[in-house]
């Protein structure tokens, strides 16, 4: 029986892990074998305090992990499939099933993050790994001197477009609106970069090719009949995020898109379950806000556990 089980190994989950294990809570962190934290595929994180000049996302997470392990955090690589309520010594607790293992805890901290949304257009699935990519840092180097497209207008799209200019001959940024949503500093870098072109008010209708991607067909949102073909070898898609919260449905309140609703103490509608980071409904999804949420969630979980242990009369008090 754990005091707390943390689901997810991004900045939110690992910060919760640092705080919980440093508070001597018996803590287990479950990390996915399939979905790495999105920050691990981010080339450069420039706005996390303490790293002037920026830091690579993978390296940042390795540091988080090292710090958490130094406080005794236990980590298991298992993907969560379901969560159910149980009663242990007359206290409501939770059982987490993950890759054929079952774990039990008094409280849970959900920090399962998001994954990149798909466009859901013809050709996208067929050419995934054959020109369609959701990870510029993984696949960018395969496009040396090639023309590529980036779809999206937020921070991820612009940051990755800038990264791709190191390899690609030309990067065309396709965005459905007439201006970028990304931070001004990224916008300025992108507009100043000679390798980056913009296709405004445009959406991808189809990805086409033979064995590999050869082009995308693009239409104008204001004039859908106005279609053009853009010859590219790679299509990098960063059009938004969907939460990894399938296992949470029915257990706690989520918004229409599946983001978990939390209060200012990171409490969900399910007693004893806290949530933090990108998987929650919030204004700003960044490493620094995820860390803040994670610390709050761990502290709130600690208070919750003290409360239930204090009011209960069974043996774990002495443990």
Binding residues for another protein, per CB under 8 A? 33-34, 36, 40-41, 57-58, 79, 99, 128-131, 133, 135, 137-139, 141-143, 211-213, 233-234
CA–CA gap between residue 107 and residue 271 (Å, rounded): 8
Q: Which is nearer to another protein, 123 or 272 (CB)?
A: 123
For the four alpha carbons of 102, 103, 107 and 112, in that order, the dihedral sign comes to: negative
Q: What's the min distance (Å) between Cβ of 79 and another protein?
A: 6
Closest-CA residue to 111 (of 307, 303, 269, 262): 262
Instruction: Give the three-state DSSP class for 170.
Output: strand
Closest-CA residue to 241 (of 112, 64, 121): 112
Q: Which is nearer to another protein, 56 or 67 (CB)?
A: 56
Q: What's the min distance (Å) between Cβ of 141 and another protein?
A: 7
Q: What's the min distance (Å) between Cβ of 214 and another protein?
A: 12
CA–CA gap between residue 132 and residue 149 (Å, rounded): 10
171 strand-pairing partners: 148, 196
Q: What's the min distance (Å) between Cβ of 3 and another protein?
A: 27
Q: Are 242 and 255 in contact (CB under 8 A)?
A: no
Q: Which is nearer to another protein, 211 or 256 (CB)?
A: 211
54 strand-pairing partners: none
234-237 and 80-88 strand pairing: unpaired
Q: Which residues contact 26 (CB under 8 A, 6 or more apart)?
A: 1, 2, 3, 4
Q: Which is nearer to another protein, 137 or 296 (CB)?
A: 137
Q: What's the min distance (Å) between Cβ of 224 and another protein?
A: 30
Q: Which is nearer to another protein, 163 or 274 (CB)?
A: 163
Which residues are known catalytic residues? 135, 138-139
CA–CA gap between residue 44 and residue 165 (Å, rounded): 14
């Amino acid at each position: 029986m754990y005091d707390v089980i943390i689901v997810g190994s991004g900045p939110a989950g690992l910060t919760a892990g640092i705080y919980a294990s440093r508070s001597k809570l018996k803590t287990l962190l479950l990390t996915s074998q399939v979905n790495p934290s999105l920050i691990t595929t981010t080339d450069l994180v420039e706005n996390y305090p303490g790293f002037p000049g920026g830091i690579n996302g993978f390296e940042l997470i390795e540091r988080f992990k090292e710090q958490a392990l130094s406080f005794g955090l236990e980590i298991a690589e298992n993907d969560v499939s379901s969560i159910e309520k149980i009663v242990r010594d007359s206290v409501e607790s939770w059982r987490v099933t993950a890759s054929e293992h079952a774990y039990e805890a008094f409280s849970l901290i959900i920090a399962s993050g998001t994954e990149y949304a798909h466009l859901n257009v013809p050709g996208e699935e067929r050419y995934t790994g054959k020109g369609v990519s959701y990870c510029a840092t993984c696949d960018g180097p395969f496009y040396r001197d090639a023309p590529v497209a980036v779809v999206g207008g937020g921070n991820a799209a612009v940051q990755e477009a800038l990264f791709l200019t190191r390899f690609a001959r030309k990067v065309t940024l396709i965005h459905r609106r007439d201006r970028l949503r990304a931070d001004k500093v990224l916008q300025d870098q992108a507009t100043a970069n000679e390798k980056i072109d913009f296709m405004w008010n445009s959406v991808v209708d189809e990805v086409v090719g033979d064995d590999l991607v050869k082009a995308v067909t693009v239409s104008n949102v204001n004039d859908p009949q106005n279609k053009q073909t853009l010859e590219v070898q790679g299509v990098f898609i960063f059009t938004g995020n969907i939460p990894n919260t399938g296992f949470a449905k029915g257990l706690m309140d989520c918004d229409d898109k599946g983001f978990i609703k939390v209060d200012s103490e990171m409490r969900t509608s399910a007693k004893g379950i806290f949530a933090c980071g990108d998987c929650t409904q919030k204004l700003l999804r960044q490493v620094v806000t995820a860390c803040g949420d994670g610390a709050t969630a761990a502290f709130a979980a600690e208070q919750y556990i003290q409360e239930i242990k204090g009011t209960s009369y069974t043996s774990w008090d002495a443990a």
